[in-house]
Amino acid sequence: MNKKPAHELLSLLKNKKVSAVEIVKSTYEQIEKHEKEISAYVTLTKELALKQAKAVDEGKRSGPLAGIPIAVKDNMCTKGILTTCSSKILHNYLPPYNATIVEKLEAAGAITIGKTNLDEFAMGSSTENSAIKTTKNPWNLNCVPGGSSGGSAAAVAADETVLALGSDTGGSIRQPASFCGIVGMKPTYGRVSRYGLVAFASSLDQIGPMTKDVRDCAILLNVLSGYDEKDSTSAKLEAPDYTKALIDDVKNLTVGIIDELMGEGVEGSTKEAIEKAVKLLESKGAKVKKVSLPHLKYSVATYYLIAPAEASSNLGRYDGVKYGLRSKEAKDLITMYKNTRAEGFGPEVKRRILLGTYALSAGYYDAYYLKALKVRTLIKEDFEKAFKDCDVLISPTSPIPAFKIGEKANDPLSMYLSDIATIPVNLAGLPAISIPCGFANGLPIGLQIIGKAFDEETILKAAYTYEQNTNWHKEKAEIR
């Protein structure tokens, strides 16, 4: 039952063929069976979930997601439920409030299954940077699930939840979705409220859906989208009904293939899968053309100046004074600050804080941070130019399928380069989706479809058309 997508379960619930309690029990049975191997969750909320499900069955809880299990990435505030960001520094943090998206899920009747593992403070591409545990890829337990939303991706792929939430700062929804063979969408910056999302890089972070198929993605995006006065970066725009965009038709669409993301560094099997996907869209009537984004080659360097600079500022609040870890080894206030941060932050978070602090320091601000902001504008302009002739742009989500656990752990630069196809989208504030489009050595490959700002509908239309004419999304991982 838990293996079905949300839209099928909603139909069964409506026709009284299944109860919400049965769906939740089935989901927890799957968790009990596989969680020891997968390690997708940081916290499970079984008692709360069964209580919520019972309320749905008794008609006391309703909404567009009533009775549907959802997992929440553990960097989103949940009132009275541990929110750790998979970091020692927040090991005991119980938020006094809910993130806006958690409130929206409550109002929609969704059932909270638990909080999922991530790279500490969402800084990473493999979930190996978690201070709590290493999540495994359900398709191959020796491989990473991607990151930083690796726990959410693995939970959906292993059927340990029906829906999940991720956050995407440089590809943290799309890359794990690609590695785990599920659908993951990063909405336009400002489309979904960030209030209650623990900040990593405020000008880049965005919350989005991680689902079993494109229809579920549209249903969940309907619930998440919309203006929020609590978030100063929230766009004051009416959100459409995304399910209306689910049409098997791309006849009037012009698809641009990003030249720079189809060359060096892209594994042969990945390139082949993307080319086949493009041919399928072309056979359905889409017009295909090559496009060049010349400043894309600077995107990783630009990102790793801007994101750590913002992280350096945002993570200054973790000082052991108000909440979270406080070092016991402290004679005075300054020692307490230093020791708390030394004990509480992991090596990758420390690395990024140091990078960011350096880029913002006097004498280096203009040379690094300011220059990065200028290059960010050039990358954004490249996309704007390409969208004058194209409706959507296409690339691999990741140049390679999931890599082995430990393979890139001691090579940060190699790890950073694995996000080459996703980072530019965040820098430009655009929406993009990753959908399954093939396999290489038994591991999933993801197709990335990028759209114009606030045009998630066209992305969903292209993704749905591709999905309706293939069976990749129906493939299931055999966990062993």
Tokens of 309: 């600079």
Give the SS3 label for residue 317.
Answer: helix
Helix 371-386 × helix 299-314 angle, to 10°: 130
**Residues whose CB is less than 8 angstroms from the CB of residue 459 and which lie 6 or more positions away in sequence, other chains included:** 185, 392, 431, 432, 433, 449, 450, 451
The upper half-sphere exposure of residue 82, i.e. CA atoms within 13 Å in the direction of its Cβ, equals: 18
Q: Is 225 a catalytic residue?
A: no
| Set 172, 178, 193, 434: catalytic member | 172
Exposure string over 462-471, b if 16+ CB within 10 A, otherwise e: bbbbbbbebe
Q: Is 148 a catalytic residue?
A: yes
Radius of gyration in angstroms for the set of CA atoms belonging to the chain, rounded to a whole number: 21
| Set 26, 73, 234, 418: catalytic member | 73
| Set 26, 126, 148, 398: catalytic member | 148
Q: Say how far apart CA 389 and CA 47 lie, in whole Å.
A: 52
The β-bridge partners of 445 are 438
479 close to 141: Cβ distance less than 8 angstroms: yes
Distance of CA 221 to the CA centre of its chain: 13
Q: Say how far apart CA 165 and CA 183 lie, in whole Å.
A: 11
430 close to 456: Cβ distance less than 8 angstroms: no
413 close to 400: Cβ distance less than 8 angstroms: no
Q: Is 284 a catalytic residue?
A: no
Residues annotated as catalytic are 73, 148, 172
